[in-house]
Amino acid sequence: MTSTQRPAPPPVRAPLRIALIASARHPIRDPFAGGLEAHTWTLSKALRARGHEVTVFAGPGSDPDLGVVEMPLSPVRISEAARRDPSMVASHWVQDHHAYLQLMLDLAHGPARYDIVHNNSLHYLPVAMAAALSTPVVTTLHTPPTPWLESAIQAAHCPVHFSAVSDHTAAAWRHVVPSATVVRNGIDTQRWQPGPGGEELVWSGRIVPEKGTHLAIEAAQIAGRKLHIAGPVGDSEYFENCIRPHLGRSITYAGHLPQPELRDLVGSSAAAVVTPCWDEPYGLVIAEALACGTPVCGFARGALPEIVTADCARLVPPGDCMALAKVIEPTIGLSRTAARNHAEAFCSMDVMTRSYERFYHAVAS
C-alpha cells in the first residue's frame, strides 16, 4: 500500500443499495463539465469504498468504473405540428425531459432494487414523480431556486427529503423547503494533494459570466500578478469577447484540464482567485484549492464566507476588483498548512460521505 492509499473505513451502519441520479446531458468523467459532475463522481466512489452498492444513472460517455446505467439522449420523435406549437422548447430540453421521464417510470414500475434513490441532478422530474416510487427519494439542492423545481416541490404529496450543499443554499430554498439537511460538498483530499506553491495566481471553473473570470483578470492586472485560467468554456461568446482579448504573457488559458493536471496547476500557484457574480451555492474550486495548500482570495458572496476562515482566505465585497487586488498579497502570505488542514477538517470527501450516510439511514429507517 502506498503512502497516498488507505483502507476505506466501514460504513456507519449496514450497507445500502443506492440509485444515484446524475446529469443526463454531461458525462460523469474527468475532465468534468462542472462541479456537479465532479461531486457525483466523488460521492459515488466514496460510497462504494465504504461498502455500499451504488448504481449511477447518468449521461452517455460516463466513467465505466462507476457502474453507470446510461440515460440515452436519443432524439425524441416530435411531429412537425408539435414543433410549430408556441409551447415548443429547445430540443435539448425535450431530450432531457424524456430521459428523466423514462428513468422515473422505470424506477416506479420495476422491482424495488434500492433502499434510497438520490436525485443528484438539477432536473425537476425526479422530484415531481417521487410519489410514484415505493423507495424513499432524497434530492440535493445544488443551486439557487429554479421555477420548475419549485413547482415540483409544491405539488401535493411531495415525499422528497432534501439536503442542501451549504447553509446559504438551504436558506435560499427555505420558502419551499423549510428544513433541508445541510451536507456540504467534499473533495478527495488523497487525490487533491498539497503542492509547492509559486508566484502566480490561478482561477479555475466553468468559464461563464456568472463565475466572473473577467473580474479575476482585472484584479490580477491591477495587482501586477500573472494569472492562469483553467476550465471548460461554457459560454463561447463570453470567452471570445471578455477573456481572449486579455490573453498573453501575464494572463494565460491552460484549457479544460483533467484533475491531476488541474491539481498540479493549483498546487503550484501562490493563491486561488474566486470571483462569483451570482450567489455561489458552494464553490468546489475553493475546497480543491485549500486541499492543495493554496489560500483563497475572492468575493464574499453566496456560500463562500461559510466555507473559509481567516486562516486560509481573504474575502472582499462582491464585484470590488480594487479591493480584491489589494488582498492578493496578504492572501499569498497565509499558511499553506492551515489551508490544507481546513480542507481536511471541513471540505473532505470523508466528512461529506459520513454525513450522507447518516442522512440516508435517517430517511430509510
Please write the tens of the pLDDT for every residue from 148-176: 999 999 986 899 999 999 999 999 999 99
Give the whole-angstrom CA distance, residue 218 versus residue 2: 43
pLDDT at 54: 96
Q: For all residues of the chain together, what is the average pLDDT?
A: 93
What is the reported pLDDT for 21? 97
Global pTM reads 0.91
pLDDT at position 14, please?
84
For the range 96-104, what are the long-range contacts, defined as Cβ-Cβ under 8 Å and sequence gap of 24 or more?
A: 96/24, 96/25, 96/123, 97/123, 97/125, 99/24, 99/71, 99/72, 99/73, 100/21, 100/24, 100/71, 100/125, 100/126, 101/125, 101/129, 102/71, 103/21, 103/57, 103/71, 104/129, 104/132, 104/133
Residue 78 has, within 13 A of its CA and on its CB side, a CA count of: 18
pLDDT of the residue at 157:
83
- Sequential DSSP letters for 88-140: ---HHHHHHHHHHHHHHHHHHHS----SEEEE-SS-SHHHHTGGG-SS-EEEE
Question: What is the per-residue pLDDT for 144?
Answer: 95
Domains and CATH numbers, the chain: 17-186+348-364 (3.40.50.2000), 201-346 (3.40.50.2000)
Is the backbone peptide bond immediately before 281 cis, with ω within 30 degrees of 0?
no
Q: How far apart are CA 25 and CA 357, in angstroms?
A: 27
Residue showing cell 466512489: 45
> Which pLDDT score is estimated for 74?
67
Would you state the cell numbers that stand for residue 291, as one nine-digit string? 486541499
Ranges of residues in the chain with a pLDDT under 50 are 1-4, 11
pLDDT tens per residue across span 252-299: 999 999 999 999 999 999 999 999 999 999 999 999 999 999 999 999
pLDDT of amino acid 2: 43
Residue 9: per-residue pLDDT: 57
CA–CA separation, 42 and 23 (whole Å): 14
